[in-house]
Structure 1
Amino acid sequence: MKCLFVASSMNFGGAERVMSILANSWCDKGCEVKILLTGTSAQSKYTLSKQVELISCFSDAKKAIVPHLVIVKAVRSLCKLWKPDVVISFYNDIAALTAVAITGLRIPLIYSERNDPNRVNQRKVDKIYRKIVEHRADEFVFQTTGAQECYPKKVQKRSVVILNPLDVTGFPTHDFTVEKKEIVTVGRLEPQKNQKLLINAFSELARDFPDYTLIIYGEGSLRNELENYVISKGLQSKVVLPGAKNNIQEYIKDASLFVLSSDYEGIPNALIEAMAIGLPCVSTDCSPGGARELIADGKNGAIVECGNPQMLAKAMEFVLKDREKAQEMGINAKKICVRVDKDVVCDSWLNLIKDSRGKKNGV
């Protein structure tokens, strides 16, 4: 089977990480996989199998007066030459351009929604792209039922909910006997992730937990703003922003607590990874329900209202004080590995692709 991803980049990000896992797994199962990149980077931040071919059309698009036409041409040319069995995109605009590019080629297009449809892609042009995708995509993959329900019934009827895959090969396991007095979070430094909320909550805890450090892993446009905010709170000796890291699991495995403070998410990969390690986790109830898909409040983690620093601080304090309950949460959190098992999830995708091919060809 030939599978083509069309993506803007393979930089650090949840969608990119999922693409890398799917691509590598499918190659292991004998599939051929190519990733056509339309953005500014032709490199992958994630390890890819040598069998996965990265192709970039950016050098041509950069020179073009209308780069979108270059992307459409690149996708169509590659599809006519290589004849993939399926084309997959995780991006609204790229999926729309891809739909136009493969018109008449009888190749199924699968679009995967990676975020909260009510919070992203809200410009007029984005809404046009979304209408094209709704009309032209053959199948849809959602990470949560909440995201699925944001779309029209006609889309829901040709959609499935599939959690993100996680490759836990070589994953560390949290050891409560050697944990450090660290509270950690992982995510792009962007408004969506709302790290200011976490900083505010931590500032309320700092007096009662003076030995703890908050470490915010990630990179993004808000770095300077967040650094200045930390200084304004007088927390520069207690809050660290070390940037994005490869093998992030090794950096967070010994923390006392993982916190997700996002306002909205697709389904939070960082939370999945922290749970898979066995860390006790606290998360905001980010729309459209990704955290609730993963956490049963009080059993394998804690869920709090979005945007409420007092509630977040209270939940963090509870976990830090009651280490017996924290250990119970961590042990239960690790059971998420069964639900996001790489082979199970990747096979679900392959079954969807086979069904989509059959429908497209009238089988």
Structure 2
Amino acid sequence: MPQEETAPSESATYQEASGVASAYDLCLLEKIKQPNDEQTIESIKQQCQLDSVTQTNYSATKGESLAQHRLQTERKTAFEPFVMTAHHLNYLLPVTYSNKINEQAYAGTDWSEGLEHAEAEFQISFKVPLNYSDLMIEGDGLFFGMTLKSFWQVYAADISRPFRETNYRPELFYVAPTAWKPLDGSTGLGIGVEHESNGQRQDLSRSWNRVYAQFYFAKENFVMKFQPWWRIPESEKADPSDASGDDNPDIEDYMGHFELSGAYKWNDLEFSFLGRENFATHKGYGELGLTFPIWGKVRGYAKYSTGYGSSMIDYNQNQQRVGLGIAITGLL
């Protein structure tokens, strides 16, 4: 008699779809060998499934860089109704410390004498694809991106723990791969336009608009991006209290005309860097980051920065900052 076919279990279906069956099975065997009266079979299955997902998220097929792997994964899930695609790093730093808090910018306000050098910092960044299929060449894409970065004076009880600064950065950009493969790596080009501002009242308002180009290079577990920009000119203010006109006409003296950033993954550690420089004024900014595994998708995140422009209100403030917390997305 023909045997009745049985439906695959949920875990087997998941393993087949994600390609992690071997890792899952090996994990099960290893966990079962370890005597632990407090663990149930179900808890062992859940832990092994979680470990397998984590390994899959940080692996790429042979000949494919981790950056390419991320792009392919994003394209497969971008239009799922419950999936939000990360743009820049999403993180929460409960504690950051600045060696030079920008008290001058808040002179004359209720905050001028109550700001603390320690504060919390977090960033939320996502992008939305605007094309379902290729536009001009295979693998290209048009996106809307939004990044929100906030600095919270959570330890300043005397001034009611305000959000000191929040930067809003919407952008529209196009990215396409190229056929050029230097050093056996892959490359891509992009172009975009973005607005960045802090949404503050007139005397604290900071903003600018930029058109930028991008060049990407990726190989194996390394990716680098070079992004030069041109600032869209604004009219000069007749009076500092005017609502219209340029809030910060000298911002390029401190923020420069380009940004160089990158990431490198070594085992379970991910290192990142970012730098800006104005070679005429010799002012710039440098940032180093490190993410490390904690549990599942949650990773530890440590960041150090020095120079001008850690936020819009601090564009002309030279300071060093160090922070520790968690990241919920990665760069690779």
**Higher CA-based Rg:** 2
TM range (shorter): under 0.3
**Greater share of strand:** 2
Question: What TM-score do you get using the length of structure 2 for normalisation?
Answer: 0.23
Larger proportion of helix: 1
